[in-house]
Structure formats: C-alpha cells, structure tokens
Structure 1
C-alpha cells in the first residue's frame, strides 16, 4: 500500500459505515469509492469489509487493522498540522467555523461582519450544522456549541446561558387566549419537532407538556418553527435570543421555561488557541456574543 488515499478510504468506510458516507467525506463520487475499494481488495488479496443485510459495511479483521493504522497516521498528520497552524501569526487565511442554524440566522452574522471589517484578510468558512463536528480532526477550527466541551484537548469558554420560552404571533394571540395560570398547553395549536429530529431537551419538554394531538406542524428546523409561529400557525418553543430578536412574534409567557436553561460555548483545539486569526475571532466575535448575554439569557427583549 503506497497511496495514503487508500488508507483514508478504508478509514472513511469504517467511520461512515458505508461507501456513501465515505465518498462524501473524501469528496469523490460513490462509484469511484466502490472501484477503489474493490481494486485495493484485489491487490491485497483479502476482503476488507463485509456488507451486512442492512447495508452497513463491517470491517473484517484485516480491514480493522488497516483502519486503525490509518487513524494513527491521521492523528500524527493532524497534530503536525495543528502545531504548524498554532504558530501562525498572520491575521489572514481561512478560518473554518461551525455554528447552529439558529445562532447563524439571528446574531452571529453581524459579528462576522465586524470581524471582516477589522481583519479583511481572514476568510471565514461557516458550516451551519447542528452536529458536533470534530475539532481534533480539523472538521472546524472554531465551534460555537450549546454544551460544555468534554474533550480534554479542547479549549474555550462559556459565553452565556441560553433561555427558552414560548412564542406566538400577535394575530394568533388575538384570536386565542394566552396560557392558563397553570401553564397548560392543551387547547393551543403547537409547533414542534418532527419525529426524526435528534432528541433535545426542548423537544422532550414539549412532548411532556402537551399531547401529540396538539402539535399541528412539525419541522426539524428551529428557524422554520419561528417562521411558522410568525405566520400564526401556533405556539413555538424557541431560544430567547431567536424569539426576542424577531419582531413578528411575542412571548406567550413572561418568564423563560426554568427547566430549559442551556449554555453557549466558544471552543477551539488547544493547539490552535495562539493562532492569530483564532484569537481575533475569540476577541471580536466571542466578546461580541458575550455582550448580548441578557438577550441569550432571556432578560432583554429587542422587540
């Protein structure tokens, strides 16, 4: 085996459980991934994966050994890459950032514009993704996450708490009464998550607080839930920084839902914390978001 891309392919197939995920990770089409894997198996004279009845590719003993070796090589390469990048003192170059859809839609972009004005040489590549991307594998340089990082090699800080509340359009509330003193939701039309959406605390709270029959509209996008509430479809449970900054909806209840207090963190890999453009992002964007703590924590409405 004299081609690093062959090792990458085996590792990508094992990680993704199939050729579709592997081809996406490597930026090649499915047929190319299939052809390369078959050619590698033929040249080595050994099968590297067994395809299970559910379509998942399971590594054989030989495939697992190759994938483990490829992962060790990748770790060394990424460590070297981070070491070099960590000493980069230029306020220019590419900076890959990952953020949730709601943060990017509501508040983040204005702070990115401030970064652009201060340091026009920094090119931000924003990945809007609710998944937790790997900073160790350089899937992103900086992450804005709703949870405290657990990986010991990561470095960052909490920017704010994140409060949630119920919102509706004024027209909806004009035609329907507000919440009862007990806060019961039944009797209201609700906007919720589709069943395939990942389990999050807000969705679980809504499921406990109202019957499934009350949910008249479902979507896996919080931004779309906001838009649906704005049109008068029903009540939506939203982070306060999203709902309070939108003039088309108002809070149904005065106080945020106490059980749904979350967090917002800014995180990078420890090897990159001294990189000039990473520091600039922390200073301008991180501090800019932290200055809106009252909005994140539901103490100030910008309506």
Structure 2
C-alpha cells in the first residue's frame, strides 16, 4: 500500500515536471528553437516531404525533428509538440484544426491486367491482425486471393509498382504516380478519416508552434483534391 502511494506521488511529480517544461517552452516568443513533429511516415514521404523541406529552409533557426509514427504521440508527456493524424477521434484535450478526410481506392500497375493471367491475380494487404475484414469483398475482384502481406504501407506501394498485385491504399500515395492506375470498375474513393493538425493547449500560442501549424494546414489544404481522391479520377484501365 505504501509503495502504491509512492508510485502515485512519483506520477504526480512527473506530470508537474512535464507541465513546467511545457510552460517554459510556451513562454518562448522567438521564431527559433526545437519542434518535434509527429506524423505517419506515409504522410511525410508521399504528401508533405517537399513542404517540410521548404519549412526547414525558410526557417533555419527552427530545429524541426520529425517523428514517424501511426500512434498518437502523448503530448502531455512532451513526446511531440505537433501531431498530424488521420482520425475520427482525436484526444479531446488536444487543440488545432480539423481539415478534410483522406480517401482510399484500389490500385495496380498500369499493365497489370495485360501482363498477368487471371488465375495469378492477387491482393497485397496488411497483416491479418490489421485487416478491416470486408474491403476485398467490396472490391471489383472479391474472389481474388491474398498474396503478399506486410504491415508496411510503402511495401504495398512498391509491390504494386513492381506489378506484384493489387492494393488498397490512400489516393495521395498512388494518384500522382503514372505507373499506377485505379483498378477498373472500382467504386469512387472511400473517405476514411479526417486529417487533423494538433498541439497541446499549453503550446497553442507559442509562436514557432503556431507558425508550423499554419504552414502544415496551408500545405494540406493546397492538396485537398489529391487527398480526397479527386486528382485523377479518370485514370483507370479499360474494364
């Protein structure tokens, strides 16, 4: 019992320490210093790479560190200062901007159906534990078996580019690539979850944090059609 009380006291002290650190950073008024941005790696690689590079070049006094993760960083524990995520349920006490949903569609290499015999068609998917269950059944090829499985979204993309199968993934990853097409007879892109740019309430008025958040919101809004799957709606193979 005494040990449990000590643990509780230690956790309270830790929370006070994190809060004091946030208050210290929140009081900084210069457009300089460190920022840790938590962002899924595919958003960083396929959607915001050029923008993040531009931000670093434009504001060299801001030390931007990018943390690639699909899990929400714990802003209360200062694991990050800003997060960008696609979600329908962000932590309630985070503050920031909700933008628009990202969409998914079905893709394959442009000559996949000409170069592959029907009996060799296959899907490239996530691992079984991460499968949504019914999206293959709702696809234009519900009877095609699963071939390659990986928990790496970039692996899916590269495998599709190499002609190894069909994938379901974010439109912003595949639509800009002329080597890929949307699978024929697919339904319109499916909106999945809204994109959010968020920070901790204690940091919302910190100048460099506000600057990065405005920059990210502007960059994402400029790619709204791409994110929503409306960039190349007609680029698909003949059915």
User: Which category of TM-score, normalised to the shorter sequence, fits these structures?
Assistant: 0.7 to 0.9
Question: By how many angstroms is 1:290 displaced?
Answer: 1.6
Q: Describe the superposition over 1:210-264 as per-residue Cα deviations: whole angstroms up to 9, x where unpaired.
A: 7797110000011110001111111000110111122321111465343x53221
- Out of 121, 134, 139, which is 2:79 matched to? 139
Question: By how many angstroms is 1:99 displaced?
Answer: 0.8
Equivalent pairs, count: 231
Regions of 4+ moved over 4 Å = 207-213
Secondary structure, aligned partner of 1:279: helix
User: Considering only CA atoms, is the larger Rg found in Structure 1 or Structure 2?
Assistant: 1
Equivalent positions of 1:122-201 (< 5 A) are: 122-176=62-116, 188-196=121-129, 199=130
**Alignment correspondent of 1:264:** 195
**Alignment correspondent of 1:204:** 133
Gapped regions of structure 2 (runs ≥ 5): none
2-structure distance, mates of 1:246, 1:68 = 53
8 A Cα contact 1:142 1:278, kept in partner: yes
8 A Cα contact 1:98 1:142, kept in partner: yes
Structure of greater relative contact order (alpha carbons < 8 Å, 6+ residues apart): 2
**Alignment correspondent of 2:42:** 102
**Alignment correspondent of 1:291:** 222
1-structure distance, mates of 2:89, 2:22 = 19
Gapped regions of structure 1 (runs ≥ 5): 1-60, 179-185
Q: Describe the superposition over 1:164-185 as per-residue Cα deviations: whole angstroms up to 9, x where unpaired.
A: 000000121223599xxxxxxx
2-structure distance, mates of 1:74, 1:212 = 54
Using the size of structure 1 for normalisation, the TM-score is 0.69
Q: Describe the superposition over 1:6-46 as per-residue Cα deviations: whole angstroms up to 9, x where unpaired.
A: xxxxxxxxxxxxxxxxxxxxxxxxxxxxxxxxxxxxxxxxx
Equivalent positions of 1:68-107 (< 5 A) are: 68-107=8-47
Q: Describe the superposition over 1:85-113 as per-residue Cα deviations: whole angstroms up to 9, x where unpaired.
A: 11211111111011112111101121111
8 A Cα contact 1:169 1:250, kept in partner: yes
2-structure distance, mates of 1:238, 1:131 = 18
Secondary structure, aligned partner of 2:75: coil
Secondary structure, aligned partner of 2:83: strand
Secondary structure, aligned partner of 2:95: strand
2-structure distance, mates of 1:266, 1:204 = 29
8 A Cα contact 2:22 2:203, kept in partner: yes
Q: 1:220 to 1:212 in 2, by over 3 A?
A: farther
Using the size of structure 2 for normalisation, the TM-score is 0.86
Question: By how many angstroms is 1:207 displaced?
Answer: 5.5
Matched, 1:66 2:6: yes
8 A Cα contact 2:88 2:193, kept in partner: no
